[in-house]
Amino acid sequence: MSNDLSSALQTAIAAIPECLAAGYIDLSSGMLLGIKSVDSQPTEVVELLAAATADLFQGTNVKMIESIFKKARGLKDDGHHYFQEIIINSDNLIHVFIRGKNEEQVACFVCRKSANLGMAITKARSSMPALEACI
């Protein structure tokens, strides 16, 4: 991981309310390009993050749904991805996934469940330009 990406991930964690971890994933290669966390994370989770993120954004059923939405709206199936952000609320955490301008890259931010969801999303969105500039 480049120092720039590492620094940008650390800055994002500091800016996003109650953020515990941030990662940056390249969907086309399936690689986790960078990850920062305030605590150590289980190796199994870190190893699966890129694959799980790819499934969320580009799994077979997701692609099919995007295609159906485009067809229903009379849009060309030009490769543009319909889903840009995915929010997952787990028992104790909020997971915010945001697709970058390069639609093959996704940032993942993990916050405590007690974080203000709107503020977490707003701050996560505002961190994207700095992350994207590193790649």
Rounded distance between C-alpha atoms, residue 110 and residue 119, angstroms: 13
Residue 70 CA to its chain's centroid (Å)? 23
Asked if residue 2 has pLDDT above 80, the reply is no
Model's pTM, two decimal places? 0.92
DSSP character for 27? T
Domain ranges of the chain: 3-133
Average pLDDT of the chain is 94
pLDDT, tens digit, for every residue of 66-121?
999 999 999 988 888 989 999 999 999 999 999 999 999 999 999 999 999 999 99
The answer to whether 118 and 126 are in contact (CB under 8 A) is no
Task: Please state, in angstroms and as integers, the Cα–Cα distance from residue 85 to each residue in 6, 7, 12, 13, 41, following that order.
Answer: 22, 23, 17, 18, 23
Classify domain 3-133 by CATH number.
3.30.450.30
pLDDT band, very low/low/confident/very high, at 1 (cuts 50, 70, 90): low
pLDDT at residue 9 tops 70: yes
